[in-house]
Amino acid sequence: MRKTVYIHVGYHKTATTFLQKSIYPKLTHQITYLSRGDAQAYLYDIRHKKLSDKAITDLRRGFESMMEAEKPLLISYEGLSGNPMSTKKKVKDNHAILKDLRQIFPEESYNVHIIVGVRRQLDLLTSLYVQYIHQGGYKQAAAVFEEWEQLGVLNGYYYFSYMDRVIQLFGQKNYYLMQYENFRENEIKEITKLLQYMGVHEVPSYSNTKVNRSYGTMQVKTARKMNYFLKTPFNPEAPVPTKRGRPLSRVMLQSRASFMLHHQKYSLPASLQQVLQAKYQSDNQLLLHHYGIDYTK
């Protein structure tokens, strides 16, 4: 009998972290949930390394050792949808990661379901740029997106192409596609639908208190200038060291006082928005036609 495995691959910024912290850990009676911390070494290898046949076998054995009899396995790690802020010359793309997941969990032994959360690319990528600044980045948006384009990072957000690959590898009925905008509009409804897909018919009690508030326009502008002088993974040659890579700008600008003074939602430059919208337009038309999700505007 094949073992059932649910793999929630992300994307980033589509409520994945909320589900990992507030919902998935409370499903232990019905599902064996592996968080990023539970399987960090395995997930790192899948995300970053070219896997040999031996590595594939070792990873399968590792996951098997954490499975419980009669319970489906749930793996949730948004890094499996790609590495959105990589500074490396070559990034392992999300199609390659899907292929590796299929080899780790072959069809003859595992009934694998892929859970994918999508969000309008422009909004998602804006949020990622703000996170880049939040974590110590200092470059203008145009320069960052040019780097991401050259690294192939931006190619990971052709959603229709990605879902087509999911279906090729795992089957027409073995995916769950969640739209972030619907989640924001009716959270409990979307949680209920997701859990029902996994065979869980009751939503556990949970709290959805947001710990960190995203930078607004003023915070992004100020942090970017401050980060130029602060040593972080995104600016290793800067003169001023930071404690554990946590920039001083984050300490100062994440405060309540900072947001009380000014918090206007940050937007990418209009010219960059147009470039990004055009980049995904053809793929988004296919997404609308096949899945009814409209990111064409």
- Mean pLDDT score, 25-43: 92
Q: Specify whether domain 3-121+155-197 bears CATH 1.20.1250.
A: no
**77 touches 139 (CB < 8 A):** no
Residue 105, token pair as written in the block: 């969990």
Residue 260 has pLDDT above 60, yes or no: no
Which residue in this structure is represented by tokens 């040999």? 52
Across the chain, mean pLDDT equals: 91
Residues 6+ apart with CB under 8 A from 45: 51, 55, 59
CA separation for the pair 232, 162 (Å, rounded): 32
CA separation for the pair 156, 283 (Å, rounded): 12
CA separation for the pair 231, 218 (Å, rounded): 21
- At 145, the pLDDT band (50, 70, 90 cuts) reads very high
Contacts of the segment 256-261: beta carbons below 8 A, 24+ positions apart: 258/218, 258/219, 259/213, 259/216, 259/219, 261/218
Residue 201: the pLDDT is 92
Write down the pTM of the prediction. Answer: 0.92
CA 116, 121, 127, 133 dihedral sign is positive
**118 touches 178 (CB < 8 A):** yes
CA separation for the pair 263, 218 (Å, rounded): 7
Share of the chain above pLDDT 70, in %: 90
Within 10 angstroms of residue 72's Cβ, the number of other Cβ atoms is: 20
The angle, 0 to 180 degrees and rounded to 10, between the axes of the packed helices 141-151 and 270-291 is 50
**Apex 135 CA angle, 133 and 297, nearest 5:** 45
Residue 32 has pLDDT above 90, yes or no: yes
Displacement of CA 247 from its chain's centroid (Å): 23
Q: Give Dmax (Cα) for the chain.
A: 60
Beta-sheet pairing, 110-118 with 73-76: unpaired
Could you say which DSSP state residue 84 is in? T
- Mean pLDDT score, 13-30: 95
- Mean pLDDT score, 183-208: 94
CA 71, 47, 162, 165 dihedral sign is negative
- Give the bridge partners for 111, in sequence order: 4
**134 touches 126 (CB < 8 A):** no
Do you find a cis peptide bond into 44, omega within 30 degrees of 0?
no
What are the tens digits of pLDDT across the range 73-98? 999 999 999 988 876 666 789 999 99
Residue 231 has pLDDT above 60, yes or no: yes
Could you say which DSSP state residue 23 is in? I
- At 247, the pLDDT band (50, 70, 90 cuts) reads low
CA separation for the pair 222, 270 (Å, rounded): 20
What are the tens digits of pLDDT across the range 55-69? 999 999 999 999 998
Residue 214, token pair as written in the block: 């995203």
